[in-house]
Structure 1
Amino acid sequence: MSKNVPVVEFKQVGKTFISPDGTPHEAIRDVNFCVEDLDDEGEFIALLGPSGCGKSTILNLIAGLEPVHPATTGEVLVFGQPVHGPGPDRGMVFQSYSSFPCYNVLDNVAFGLKLQGVEKDEREERAMRWIKRVQLAGSEKKYPHQLSGGMRQRVAIARTLAIHPRIILMDEPFGALDRVTRWGMQDLLVELWREVEATVFLITHDIAEAVYLGDRVFIMSEGPGTIVEVVDVPAPSGDAATTQRTEAFSNLVHTVSQKFEKHIPQMGSA
């Protein structure tokens, strides 16, 4: 794949849903952005905006997931090609704990590999490698109901990374976690992202999380959503707990908050 081909490109993309009574609902309108294929690393994009502005719609269009896919207007390109449906080059981590309750951790993480036809011994070996990377070694025989929320999200991340996607799509994966657990998950995500060199799209309502994780923050308007501002963010110099307590980081969050409030004034600092 040529390095000149963008990883993801939206060209004047819009999506309108039709309700059961026939009423149209425009979720996003005229969304334009380009994420380049960088040398030796992927870019981390944080999508920030109010509820209902179409952030999840954008992720689902990249993923090629129905009924959001296809776009009503415009073009959605992944590695220069129109999206026709889901593919192994894209993996998704949802806000809800999406593990299969009847499978243990090992089988959950190996599930995508099984769908790809990987033989049992190899898929279990690869799954165990990622279970260890997300710090769940010793829990591979446990079932989701035996795990904490943070542990279940580690399972979801391991399952996604096990298939080696080029693009990782994350829909508020840490939204239900307490602050300390969330910081730990943010650090783990940064470590794994640097290792796999994938491009990441992360939806969040948390401005501090967007600033800490993102290379760029895409600020979206209220629905029908569009990208109204893109903010470049410097890479953090320390772990989440340390960095997010510093004055410099607080100032940066305040700057992004002001930009957010400029476009969505009624949201205040939420």
Structure 2
Amino acid sequence: MCVILGSPSCKVRILFYDVLIYYSLFQIPSGIFSLCKVLRKEALILFGNHFSSLKGGGSLSELSSLRVLDLHDNEFSSLPEEIGELQNLQVLNLASNKLKELPSSIGKLKVLQTLNVRDNKLKVLPETLCQLSRLRTLDVSGNHITALPKKLCNIRTLDTLIVTASDMKMPPADICNQGTETIMKYLCSECGIEYIPPSKVLLDQLDSPLDMETKWRKQSLRAMEEENLKDTLQHYQSLKVDDDNCF
């Protein structure tokens, strides 16, 4: 079920699940962050617009419950430091923008698991990125990055790291061509620490047997929620709204 909002020249769709979707817009909708909070949305999809700023949407602190933020295919050249206030964010998609740098506050996104900054104008990555202790997927390809922070090896959960190998000097291109594990082993060697496979790290993070029943109950409830979210996200890329349906 959905509701169409806006003028005849807009294309806006709100899904009554966990996802709020806006696309083909030139300005970020006023008060959209408050709307997310009121409707308790877990995903805000703003792909394929012409946004260069998040101003006008409200206070980013109102998105503290958000789990997915998709800003890909816009015109952002920078992001506000307040992005670090999204404490429950697990997926951040910033691909295909004009980002020249990432805010240092990105290191505050402690539960972030996926960060996609593919096809931007980044030259360096902030050292605070290395504080994302639960990050599992990082795509920095298609930028102007020639070196990775050595302390990236501190992210022991990182099992997918995508770079443009031909541009890399640290680690060298031949190392980067061999994939994530080889890159992480190289960075660990540079920092003088032992490489531990992400699979082992994730296994070691499991709760003790005494907590397993409680954990199972929580996971069962979360699995139901995630299945609904997954089904919705699988369709959002192909959503199309006829102008005649706007009012």
TM-score (norm 1): 0.26
Q: Which has the higher strand share?
A: 1
Q: Which has the higher contact order (CA 8 A, sep 6+)?
A: 1
Q: Which has the larger radius of gyration?
A: 2
